[in-house]
């Protein structure tokens, strides 16, 4: 979740100054290892997690029927919803899964002026719209493992 954060930008752990919302960057302490025992670094490397580790993640919602359903809530107790660093509170999980990795939110990530940072602050600019747009195809599926990616790849590759 932090791969788009620019290098050299002044950041620190600070206090919450607003209700939490998806995309807010947080500093969390791993309190209990669960399903996600690794996290991805900003360059995509898998790093083993240990109790007490501090991580930077982004608050977010996740609707993964084969894994966890989780949401952003206003609480210092949370879960690691993805290895990529999405943090939220699990409300349901697949029956075959063990407990999620627990995270204690210890603060928000703030910029040099003390303003809370969000993934929105570092979003890549939208590319210019071409003069002639290619046709749009929509592939829809009702959940995980329904074949959306397979169908999309087949349509693209022919």
Give mean pLDDT in consecutive 10-residue pieces for the chain, a chain of 158 residues.
Answer: 75 86 96 96 92 96 90 95 95 90 95 90 86 85 86 89
Would 47 be classed as within a structural domain?
Answer: yes
Element (H, E) at 154: helix 148-157
d(CA 27, CA 40): 15
Name the nearest CA neighbour of 40 among 88, 82, 68: 82
pLDDT for residue 18:
83
Would 132 be classed as within a structural domain?
Answer: no
Would 141 be classed as within a structural domain?
Answer: no
Domain boundaries, position 105 = 11-124
Would 23 be classed as within a structural domain?
Answer: yes
Would 133 be classed as within a structural domain?
Answer: no
In whole angstroms, how far apart are CA 26 and each of 15, 19, 58, 116? 10, 13, 6, 9
Name the nearest CA neighbour of 85 among 57, 104, 61, 47: 57
User: Residue 25 corresponds to which tokens in the numbers above?
Assistant: 């960057």
Number of compact structural domains in the chain: 1
Would 86 be classed as within a structural domain?
Answer: yes
Would 3 be classed as within a structural domain?
Answer: no
Would 26 be classed as within a structural domain?
Answer: yes
């Amino acid at each position: 979740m932090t791969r788009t954060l620019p290098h050299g930008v002044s950041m620190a752990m600070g206090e919450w100054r607003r209700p939490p919302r998806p995309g807010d960057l947080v500093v969390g302490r791993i309190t209990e290892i669960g399903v996600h025992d690794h996290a991805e670094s900003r360059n995509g490397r898998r790093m083993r997690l240990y109790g007490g580790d501090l991580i930077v993640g982004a608050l977010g919602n996740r609707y993964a029927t084969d894994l966890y359903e989780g949401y952003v809530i206003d609480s210092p107790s949370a879960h690691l919803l993805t290895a990529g660093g999405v943090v939220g509170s699990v409300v349901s999980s697949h029956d075959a899964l063990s407990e999620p990795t627990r995270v204690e939110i210890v603060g928000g990530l703030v910029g040099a002026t003390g303003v809370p940072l969000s993934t929105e602050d570092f979003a890549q600019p939208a590319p210019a719209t071409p003069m002639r747009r290619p046709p749009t195809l929509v592939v829809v599926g009702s959940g995980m493992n329904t074949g959306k990616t397979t169908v999309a790849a087949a349509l693209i590759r022919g």
